[in-house]
Structure 1
Amino acid sequence: MGFETKTIRIAMNGITGRMGYRQHLLRSILPIRDAGGFTLEDGTRVQVEPILVGRNEAKIRELAEKHKVSEWTTDLDAVINDPTVDVVFDASMTSLRAATLKKAMLAGKHIFTEKPTAETLEEAIELARIGKEAGVTAGVVHDKLYLPGLVKLRRLVDEGFFGRILSIRGEFGYWVFEGDIQAAQRPSWNYRKEDGGGMTTDMFCHWNYVLEGIIGKVKSVNATTATHIPTRWDEAGKEYKATADDASYGIFELETPGGDDVIGQINSSWAVRVYRDELVEFQVDGTHGSAVAGLNKCVAQQRAHTPKPVWNPDLPVTESFRDQWQEVPANADLDNGFKLQWEEFLRDVVAGREHRFGLLSAARGVQLAELGLRSSEERRTLDIPEITL
């Protein structure tokens, strides 16, 4: 007796963009499709059927032909109202996202979306309310919590490795070329505030769920933002003024589930040259041990194995501090983080249940970004109020 196969039709909007194409189509949905789907606990096979959606007909048609996707369209409203479509995914510009998500949920579609979900906290909360009232499964990309390095870091937290956690420090960023001599490796709208760009708007949504997922609730923020590179060149080689921040330096007060206070500090910059092992790294320090995690690797140092450095500026350092840390093993096969969350989300869609990273979590990310920008403008620490629907 064969098991049932359930096909989920997914309208993928904004798929010609960098993240939409590389991570969501190329490394998530197509591998799931090409593997014949995935199997649920009861033996049901879940297959995916992507529908590519975008404003540029030539690009969409080319992608569809290249990856053997039978359906594509430039009519977003039509696909949202298509009764055969189960899920609407959005990876378009931030300024367009809230309207798309609202339409999709009001049409009864499940949604999976990049973040931020909206440009303002008010819009983000409204989306969470609509999702709850519509009874749909809503998922927001929380990709960094699925990265091997952070999976290992979270495991150390769960095992009590750190003792009482004292602090978490993050370093993120790299040099994004201005575009005059070498082409920029990020889209130009990222550096225009009027188009929804900005480091704080982009990355504080990530940092909120990372801090929540590793440590606990974020209680306050004190941020300083900067536009280090005031002039850039767009995709057509045209000079433009950068109106959005390209760096944001944040200090956060956190609270663990056990009630301990923790200090967080994250530097984010598109105007920094990398001198670290990975493009993002987090260090957690505790009374019993410390760990440093990147995208893939995680190293740790226990209290009993901590050396006793002695400050002496008159002599060169003879010990290698990096060699004093031990690598944390994966102890499991860790697939692409985006693909893993897609599969988890689709399991929730089939089961008709909430996804653990939903629109309320996304609203807290938008809230942290708003307060971070306001903190920088007012040059003070701001408390983070509770969001209720």
Structure 2
Amino acid sequence: MTRRSIGVVVNGVTGRMGYRQHLVRSLLAIRADGGLPLSDGTLLWPEPVLVGRNDRKLAEIAERHGLSDWTTDLHEALARDDVEIYFDALTTQRREKAIASAVEAGKHVYTEKPVAMDLEGALVLARAAEAAGLKVGVVADKLFLPGLLKLKRLVDSGFFGQVLSVRCEFGYWVFEGDWQQPQRPSWNYRREDGGGMVLDMFPHWHYVLEHLFGRVRTVQCTTATHIARRWDEDGEEYPATAEDAAYAVFELDGGIIAQFNSSWCTRVFRDELVQFQVDGTHGSAVAGLRHCRAQSRVATPRSVWDPDLAPNVDQRGDWAVVPDNAQFGNGFREQWERFLRHVAADEPFPWDLRAAARGVQLAELGMRSAAEGRRIEIPELA
């Protein structure tokens, strides 16, 4: 088979997500398996160019994985003729400028989200990439979780009948940093650095809702900064200026009501760190990261409210496990393979910068809803 190399700038590779999911478990995993086969028999071989601000960390990563190309100069990397794709795993505040540089350099763009701090910035990027004729993609990793893939299977089969509502419980306790090391970086809790639950998670909730159930029409949101002071990576105390929890109601096409509680200040009493429940006229399902259970209309027990008697129904026991029926690989790698085929073989990739802009729009209007204390309609983007 003919092997074709494709240069990929990986910016932000020293961060947890950029390193673990995108470099090691995606690009290097593709190489470890001999490359990515295309329909014409070509083997696509990604050649990572590591970019970051810390030359010591970059050199260590390169040496660890037998790579030679790394630089702290993004513009130098983008100027290379053998580079076709720019990938961004930077912090939110730095992402928009870097993507704009890649578009100006004529590189195809694949990026984490949110793509910008506000809707106008996201639309500027989308329009610039369209004008340049570039291919673009945005990570939508939640859609590739085994639990949500099974949930999508139920949706597509018509299992639910008419979908009535969606509920999501997401989050866990992030240690403040004074007595145990926090699991998330400190910038997540500083508004001035692009932090906050809404900007972080609403773009994810948007593509989940849009892909599985329909367009989001309205948002009503309440936010809170439950933990006012935290401690950073150096053990220094700092004020939390961004919200660490968001409680939202979304209205979707068809009258579907979606309720999403997102919090870094909650202790988990559920099977997984995120749990979706979908209720419909013909059935319901509960899905997490990996598992999915369902209950059909004919298997629904007759529940009667009686606080004076002990419960005589096993509410969880009547739910059936939705089987895997497939091999589920790493979702980040799955999307990387799709985007590489999009660039090299023009195969479709629906998660573009326009879709990402709609996610940023939802976050922006969610924060506005919280500030103004009202329900806000979401206009269609031109």
> TM-score band, normalised by the shorter chain?
over 0.9
Please name the residue that 1:60 is paired with. Answer: 58
The AA in structure 2 aligned to 1:142 is A
Counterpart CA distance in 1 for 2:21 and 2:178 is 28
Post-superposition Cα deviations, 1:40-84, rounded to whole Å, max 9, x if no partner, equal 222211111111110011111111111112211111111012111
Please name the residue that 1:356 is paired with. Answer: 350
Counterpart CA distance in 2 for 1:318 and 1:184 is 42
Please name the residue that 1:21 is paired with. Answer: 19
Of 100-109 and 242-251, deviating more is 100-109
Q: Which runs of 5+ in 2 are unaligned?
A: none
Of 40-49 and 137-146, deviating more is 40-49
Counterpart CA distance in 2 for 1:59 and 1:222 is 43
- Deviation, 1:353, is 5.6
Please name the residue that 2:315 is paired with. Answer: 321
Please name the residue that 2:279 is paired with. Answer: 285
- Deviation, 1:352, is 3.6
TM superposition score normalised by structure 2 = 0.98
Counterpart CA distance in 2 for 1:342 and 1:353 is 13
The AA in structure 1 aligned to 2:307 is P
The secondary structure found in structure 2 opposite 1:324 is: coil
Q: Does 1:301 align with 2:295?
A: yes
The AA in structure 2 aligned to 1:387 is L
The AA in structure 1 aligned to 2:327 is D
The secondary structure found in structure 2 opposite 1:86 is: strand
Counterpart CA distance in 1 for 2:134 and 2:252 is 31
- Deviation, 1:354, is 5.5
CA contact (8 A) 2:6 2:82 kept: no
The secondary structure found in structure 2 opposite 1:323 is: coil
Matches of residues 26-175 of structure 1 in structure 2 within 5 Å?
26-175=24-173
CA contact (8 A) 1:137 1:352 kept: no
- Deviation, 1:19, is 1.1
The secondary structure found in structure 1 opposite 2:256 is: strand
The sequence identity of aligned pairs, in percent, is: 58
The AA in structure 2 aligned to 1:66 is R
Q: Does 1:267 align with 2:261?
A: yes
Counterpart CA distance in 2 for 1:17 and 1:320 is 45
The AA in structure 2 aligned to 1:90 is D
Of 319-328 and 142-151, deviating more is 319-328
The AA in structure 1 aligned to 2:53 is R
- Deviation, 1:320, is 2.3
Of 65-74 and 171-180, deviating more is 65-74
Counterpart CA distance in 1 for 2:218 and 2:288 is 25
- Deviation, 1:315, is 2.2
- Deviation, 1:382, is 0.2
Of 269-278 and 35-44, deviating more is 35-44
The AA in structure 2 aligned to 1:205 is P
CA contact (8 A) 1:164 1:288 kept: yes
The AA in structure 1 aligned to 2:320 is Q
CA contact (8 A) 1:137 1:353 kept: no
